Structures are given as structure tokens and as C-alpha cells.
Amino acid sequence: TDIEVWKRSDRYHNERLIGTPDASLVHAVESSAKGGLPNIAVSEAQAKFLQLLARTFKAKRILEVGTLGGYSTIWLARALPEDGELITLEISETHAEVARKNIAHAGLDSKVKVIVGPAVESLPKLEPSFDLAFIDADKQSNLEYFKEAKRLVREGGVIIVDNVVRYGRVSDPEQKDNATEGVRRLLDYIKDDKEVDATTLSTVGEKGYDGFLYALRL
């Protein structure tokens, strides 16, 4: 099946370009599973892409919406310099607890702050400026998160929104679930927005067929 091919392909590339994942990441995946967290973190290849992006433009402050067990958080925080900071927002106290432990296990607790609560309440309390924002929480609120990320990310910074393709469902008018509608509201908003320039990059891999939106803050 397609998914088996995509998994094989991810494995093939990851073996060559990522190699053995560091022990803290393996620990994060295992403890998240043990803690009963859903298996919805970004893939390894996507996580590394985020890290490379942060390294490419030497991000010093990173914002993440949707922490889960801290998998993408750890990958991103590894890109930060000594005095860098990552703020990650999570609604679930359970997820945040698992994430905090994983982040500490990775030796990143001095750089990472996990804030518990609905992101719509946490975001307005944050101060600019961030170099990079990664939005990966409840998809129906994508637009609210994106507007706040625009306020917080500096000119020339980047906002990434995950899961904007959803097996092509976003472009299928028959699909009316909340997550899909949330992505559509975001795209319709960006269409007329002069403060960002954006594109969607579709992806296939171990997580199926999806894609992320890459927006440059103007």
C-alpha cells in the first residue's frame, strides 16, 4: 500500500540523513507512549526540517503552539544558542507534565518554558519578538493562532502551520469537519493578507499525506 512505501522511503532517507536518533528523543517517544499520549507528533524527517530551518536563520526565540510530549520541542530547542528560548503552549496538564520531564531529560529545561492553558489565553500574554513560530495544536483555532503568531514574529521571521493538506481533504468541499474548516479559514485569511507571503508544501511519509504552510512575516 502507499503508506508502506512512504514509511519505507522515510526510513531510507532518515537512515542516511539523520542516523541514530539521540537518546533523549528516543526517551521522549517512549515516555509519551507510556504516558498514554496520542501518537501525533511530527515525523522525524519533519522535526529535523524544523530544526534545520531554525539553525539556518539562527533563531534565538521560538514559539510553539501544541507541545504534546515535547518531541518537536526538543528538536527545535536543540537549534537554539546558549541564551536562546523556546516557549511552548499546551492545554493538557498531563501532556505538559510528560513534556516537561522529556525536556529536562534532554537537558533543555533552562531554554524551554511549557505554559499550560488554552493557547488563545496564553498567546495574548506573550511579548514579541520571535524568529520562528510552529503552530500544531487544535486545527479549528488555526486562524486565531496565526494572527497572534503574526503579532509575535518579527519581520523576516517564519510561521509554520502543520497539517494543512489532510489527505487532500482541505480542497474537497464535501469535507466539513472542524479541523478541515479551521485550515480553510486560515487559507482564506492569508489570501488577502499583506503581512505574510506563504506557500503550502505537501508531504508524504510515515505520517501519511499531509503538508505544512510556510509563511514569511513581511
Q: Return residues touching ligand SAM (CB under 6 A).
A: 40-42, 66-68, 71-72, 89-92, 95, 118-119, 136-138, 141
DSSP letter, residue 169: G
Q: Is the bond preceding residue 129 a cis peptide, omega within 30 degrees?
A: yes
Query: CB of residue 193 vs ligand SAM: minimum separation in angstroms?
Result: 22
Given the complex with ligand SAM, which of 117 and 195 has the nearer CB atom? 117
Given the complex with ligand SAM, which of 125 and 194 has the nearer CB atom? 125
Query: CB of residue 199 vs ligand SAM: minimum separation in angstroms?
Result: 21
Query: CB of residue 176 vs ligand SAM: minimum separation in angstroms?
Result: 20
14 burial type by CB count under 10 A (0-12 exposed, 13-18 middle, 19+ buried): middle
Given the complex with ligand SAM, which of 119 and 198 has the nearer CB atom? 119
Query: CB of residue 148 vs ligand SAM: minimum separation in angstroms?
Result: 11
The candidate with the shortest Cα–Cα distance to 75, out of 47, 100, 115, is 47
The candidate with the shortest Cα–Cα distance to 70, out of 46, 42, 51, is 42
CA-to-CA dists, residue 128 to 42, 137, 191, 198, angstroms: 26, 20, 24, 21
Given the complex with ligand SAM, which of 213 and 218 has the nearer CB atom? 213
The candidate with the shortest Cα–Cα distance to 91, out of 143, 164, 141, is 141
Which distant-in-sequence residues (6+ apart) come within 8 Å of 202 by Cβ? Answer: 165, 209, 210, 211
Given the complex with ligand SAM, which of 119 and 153 has the nearer CB atom? 119
Query: CB of residue 65 vs ligand SAM: minimum separation in angstroms?
Result: 6
